[in-house]
Every structure is written in C-alpha cells, then in structure tokens.
Amino acid sequence: MRYGSPVAQRLVAAIYADQTERYGGPDATVVEAFEFDPPDGGFLVAYAQGQPVGCVGWRSHEGSEEVAELKRLYTAPEVRKTGVAQALMAAVEANARDHGRTRMVLETGAKQPEAIALYTKLGFQPIPHFGHYKDADGVVSMGRDL
C-alpha cells in the first residue's frame, strides 16, 4: 500500500498517538512517503475482518541497496498478542529480501518493551545507534541479517 494513502495515514496517526502517550510526542524522524515506494521501500497493512489493524514499512537505510530500515510497526490494541506483529514482520522482511536487501536495522525506544521483546525474539541484536535519535537517552538500535 502507498504510505500516503488514507488507510496508511490513519494507522500512522494511531502510531503517533501511541508515541505521544509514551514519549510526550510523535517520532520526529523525517520520513517522506516516496521512501516507502518500491524498489527502495515498502509499506504493508494487515487486515482482520476487513478492517486495517496494523502496518509496517521499510526504506533503504542511508541509500543502501543491501540494508533496509524498519519503520512504523504498529498493531491496534485489540489485536496485540495475536500474532499480527509477527506476521507483519515476516511479510516486511520477505518484501525487503525480494528487493535485494540482506540486512534490516531499526530504532525503537526503551518505553516500548513489547517491541524490544518482539525484535529480540525474532533475532535482532543491539547495533550502534544511528539516525535521528542516535544520541538520545533510551534509544534502542537493533539489526539482523535477512
């Protein structure tokens, strides 16, 4: 799905609301919709009973044709702990691999322990910090080979 689509933007608004509750404001990382367009990115939406309940995207990390940066993983509260996030992660990793990416990196925050637990379960390991929050307290940077 296109990142700028109304469905995607409703889900992104829900992400920002969650981040504002946890951190006092939404993610300030600069993100352009075109960054999620193939072949340099992808944006996926999960549906349950015809309703959008989650999303995830990837974009080329610093222009790399091998490394994907995970962005905007979200599941609606009513589908958490049902496997939707794991399914989204499997799909986004496959999508990135289909576009030649061999590694995925991500940034999250210490106030998202459930996300950190998921990423750890999926084999992500700590990496040096990067991006907008590289010097921020509580930043958690992770990566893994695809």
**pLDDT recorded at residue 2:** 96
| Domain-located, residue 35 | yes
Evaluate whether residue 76 is within a structural domain.
yes
pLDDT at 123: 98
Contact between 76 and 88 (Cβ < 8 Å) = no
Peptide bond into 128 cis (omega under 30): no
Provide the pLDDT for residue 56.
98
Query: What pLDDT does residue 139 have?
Result: 97
Domain count, the chain: 1
Cβ-Cβ contacts under 8 Å for 67 (sequence gap 6 or more): 60, 61, 101, 102, 103, 104, 105
The pTM assigned to this predicted structure is 0.95
User: What confidence score (pLDDT) does residue 98 get?
Assistant: 98
- C-alpha pair distances (Å), 78 with each of 9, 36, 54, 105: 19, 26, 10, 27
What is the rounded CA–CA span in Å between residue 15 and residue 34? 19
Please check whether residue 142 lies inside any domain of the structure: no
Q: Report yes or no on 1 lying in a domain.
A: no
Phi/psi at 16 (5° precision): -60, -40
CATH number at residue 71: 3.40.630.30
Strands 51-60 and 41-48: antiparallel
30 belongs to a structural domain: yes
In a domain, 115, yes or no: no
The parent domain of residue 94 ranges over 6-107
Q: What is the pLDDT of residue 132?
A: 92
Give the total residue count for the chain.
146
List the chain residues with pLDDT less than 50.
none
Give the pLDDT of residue 73: 98
Specify if 74 maps to a domain. yes
Which pLDDT does position 142 carry in this prediction?
Answer: 98
Q: Is the residue at 94 inside a domain?
A: yes
